[in-house]
Structure 1
Amino acid sequence: MYVATKGGERAIDAAHAWLAEERRGDPSVPELSVAQIAQQLTLAVNRVMAEGSLYDPDLAALAIKQARGDLIEAVFLIRAYRTTLPRFGASLPVETEAMQITRRISATFKDVPGGQVLGPTFDYTHRLLDFALAAEGAPPPAARVPADAAPAPHVLGLLDRDGLMEPLTAGPETPPDLTREPLELPAARATRLQALARADEGFVLGLAYSTQRGYGRTHAFVGELRIGLCAVEMEIPELGFVLEIGEVELTECETVNQFTGSKTEPPQFTRGYGLVFGQSERKAISMSLVDRALRWEELGEDATGAPAQDAEFVLSHCDNIQATGFLEHIKLPHYVDFQSELELIRRLRRDTEGEPQ
């Protein structure tokens, strides 16, 4: 890339060696293991898996270590590795209602079937540095309460039962795979949800925040946020039955949004939806808010010009790997381009009256 710089390939090799040295840090400090990252930096691992479109905590942890903690670089590594994997088939849609729940809350109803489960969350913690974590031999964490394995019906079903919630509509039997097919606009909701699920968390958060501040006219409540393990199943034609091949941790969010009605639809509540790998609450909530904002046309609403309602803007800019690649390419050599710009400016200045010749 910087072949034209002084030293050529030797300079690049030296840069690689320097990077490895910086990655390792002070040799007197014990090296951070992949297992430690996977077990103790789980939220970072979850983000890399979600935006990398690959559920593998160990590989995500390895990517984080290799990237020196740069999560976007780690996502890039995971996506690149993903392209080398063989594809054996497609799993069946996961049943989130049968999730082994570790956390489940609703901001719309206090008492819900199955109860509310606070689970592991920062929501009720004081934002004060815990210096005990820096001490050697810190006390072990409190015993973990086993999750309730009983099925928990979705909270929005309560509104659906009373006819106050928009009915669910079936999506395509085989939705497009955004990891294998290029994005085409206009995009159906299934494609939009895929793009948002692997989109940059910060970008989606900013868009979601804009909808809450009035740029999208969608006043939302968290109908339900649930986190837990879901079984992944595949139908094996040769065997003639469905086989469970593993389980994944997911975060699912359904928002309840006001809807005053349109020419074709009565006043009712509408849905926003988010589903993300791992415990990724901020991403799932943000995704559901943006999903609802993008549905203005199908619900017969008027567009307000908000960025979160512009599907082309959202989907064309939400991917952090594409954004990073385009942004960082400007630091590569552009000597010829710049020389032409430089000569143009000099000529314009010579032609400008009063400028020295």
Structure 2
Amino acid sequence: MGNRAYNFNAGPAALPMEVLQKAQEELVEFQGIGMSIMEISHRSAHYEQVHEETQQLLKELYDIPSGYQIQFLQGGASTQFAMIPMNFLKPGKVGSYVLTGAWAEKAVKEAQLFGETSIAASSEAFKFMKIPALSEIQPDPNSAYLHITSNETIEGAQFQAYPETGSLPLIADMSSDILSRQVDVSKFSLIYAGAQKNLGPSGVTVAIIKEEMLQDLPKNIPTMLRYDIHGKNNSLYNTPPVYSIYMVNLVLKWLKEQGGLAVVEKRNREKTSLIYGTIDQSGGFYRGPVDKDSRSIMNITFRLQDEELEKRFVKESEQNGFVGLKGHRSVGGLRASTYNAVPYESCKALADFMADFQRRNG
């Protein structure tokens, strides 16, 4: 690892070393043009090649069928929370949401500013420590769409399978687990994700959107918040976040070099099993609050016997080169975010540290 930290930050998060090194190599001069990619026009041939290639790489990795667009947007997933109801929640229709944690809750609250919403299922009674069973999800009969949050970064619960919605558009916030596993994109009408967890640095939000969703949108939506405008202009209506898209390009190439999503998913499950195994075999010293059938392979949340011991764990972990293990301020506890770029060796080091901490404090 050299001087590199064991980075378990929840976002912005770890990036592959190979990606960072390639970006460093090309920072001052991009492909012999005498300028950094941060200095060139977004209308230039050099940037257009990066732009188009990034879209194609994502289509290839996710096996995205025809009839979908890839859009590069700004404002993070939080702006998508508003854009979705502004574009798709028409008068007389209902936005149905599955309430699974803090991020799903934010999406619902934003939608309520624009129209009628319905909770199709909720795990709030379980403190969001499980994902509702698919059979429990009941969208309103007059729904415009069903929205899910595929992985709750804060609580650490993740959909293991997705609801079948037939002709009802299924929309998913995949900000914290996009490209971590294989997904049948054809089930979804819109997948969106802020880049800063699994795709690259912050600054760009990726949307995979079914083209039929772009028809007959309301006329009173501000231009920059219209999916159809971004679609018609190939995400070049205004200056895009060029450098962030370039970094996404490098991450997608890295994922392809790893062998694609089947290999990446297998590796992610091996990584997280090290840590979950340490929790489960600790005899109660560590507690995983999330239902085992809902455990995330991206954000592992766990607790110790009391907050003082958790503070000691965080302090000692930082002294040993671990970063980002303190839980989110809204729920406390501990959290290890094991995104694609977090190497197996880091997870093994954390599992070893956890076992040693238990020996000294159990």
Shared fold (TM-score, shorter chain, > 0.5): no
Query: Which TM bucket (shorter chain)?
Result: under 0.3
Whose radius of gyration is greater, 1 or 2? 1
Q: Which has the higher contact order (CA 8 A, sep 6+)?
A: 2
Q: TM-score, normalised by structure 1?
A: 0.25
Q: TM-score, normalised by structure 2?
A: 0.25
